[in-house]
Amino acid sequence: MYQACRDLLELYERAKAAGMINRDFFNDLQDEIACELRLMEVEETEVERVSKRIEEIYRQLHPADHLRTIPGIGQRTAQVFLAIIGDPHRFRNQSAFANWTGVVPGARQSADTEGKGLRMTKAGPSMMKRALYQAGDIARRYDPQLADLYYREMVHHGKTHLQAMGAVMSHLGARILTVLREGRPYELRDSQDKPISKREAIELIQSQFKVPEETRQARRHRKSNVGRLASRGTREAAKAPQSRHTSTSPVIVYLAEDKQSIGELMA
C-alpha cells in the first residue's frame, strides 16, 4: 500500500508538472479505472465459468477422484495430469511412462564411455513437468517416502535442490500412474512401507527428514561457484589463440552442463 501511494504521488507530480491537472483530470482517471474494473469482472466471470466446466469434465472422466488423494496434487494439477496422461494403460510399464514424461537423466554414450548423472532430458510435455515440479515440491513436505528421498539426495548424495526435485518428480509420476491404473486411493506410508496417518507423517518428516539450512546454503554456494568457474573458463577460452580445428575444452563443457535452473527442468 505504501509503494502504491508513492507511485500515485509520483504520477500526480508528473501530471501536474506537464500541466495536465485540471477539473476533468480526476473524472477522466476515475472513468478509466472504472472501465478496467468492469473488464476484470468480465474476465473473472469467464474464468470461473471455464473452470467449472473443466471440473465437470474431470469428474466425468475420473469420478473416484483418486488423484487428489496424493499429497501435493490439488484441484488444478489433478486436471492437468488427467488431461495429459489420458489412458494410463497405454504405457506398458513405469519405465515407459518415465521416458514419456522426460523426467529421466539424459544419456551420453560413446564407444568406451558412458555419461551418468546428466541433467534431465528435454523430452516430454513441458506442462507435465511443470505440474510434477509444483506438486512434488509440496508432496515432499507431507509424504514421508518422498521426504526421505529428497533428504537422502540433498544430505547424503550432495545434490542441489533442483537435482533432488528431479528424483522426487520421477517417484511422484510413478505414484500418479499407479493410482490411475489400479483405480485406488493413495495411502501414506513411512520409509519402512508401513501405513501412517497424515499427522504422524508430518511429525516423522519434521523429526527425521528435514534438510538442515546449512546444507541448503552449501549446495547453493557450490552451484554459484560452478557457475562462476564456467563463465571464467569460457572467457579465458575466448581470449586464447584459436586455430581452425581447436575444439572446446572438455572441462568447460562439463562445468557448463553442471549448471541447472528451473527452466532446464521444465523445458
Nearest Cα neighbor of 171 from 143, 210, 195 is 143
202: phi > 0 → left, psi -120 to 50 → alpha, else beta; which?
alpha
Backbone angles phi, psi at 110, to 5 degrees: -130, -165
Amino acid type, 236: E
Length of the chain: 267
Please give the span between the terminal C-alpha atoms of the chain, in angstroms, as a whole number. 36
Domain boundaries, the chain: 2-58, 64-211
Residue 70's CB: how many other CB atoms inside 10 A?
24
Beta partners for residue 69, in sequence order: none
What are the pLDDT digits (tens) for 83-122? 999 999 999 999 999 999 988 765 444 444 444 555 566 6
Residues 173 and 262: their CA atoms lie apart, in Å, by 18
At 259, is the pLDDT very low, low, confident or very high (cuts 50, 70, 90)? very low
Nearest Cα neighbor of 163 from 209, 106, 204, 210 is 106
In this prediction, residue 254 carries a pLDDT of 30
In this prediction, residue 110 carries a pLDDT of 46
What are the pLDDT digits (tens) for 29-56? 899 999 999 999 999 999 999 999 999 9
Residue 30's CB: how many other CB atoms inside 10 A?
10
Query: Which range is least confidently modeled, 21-30, 123-132, 194-203, 204-213?
Result: 21-30
Residues 155 and 153: their CA atoms lie apart, in Å, by 6
Check whether 227 has a pLDDT greater than 80: no
At 224, is the pLDDT very low, low, confident or very high (cuts 50, 70, 90)? low
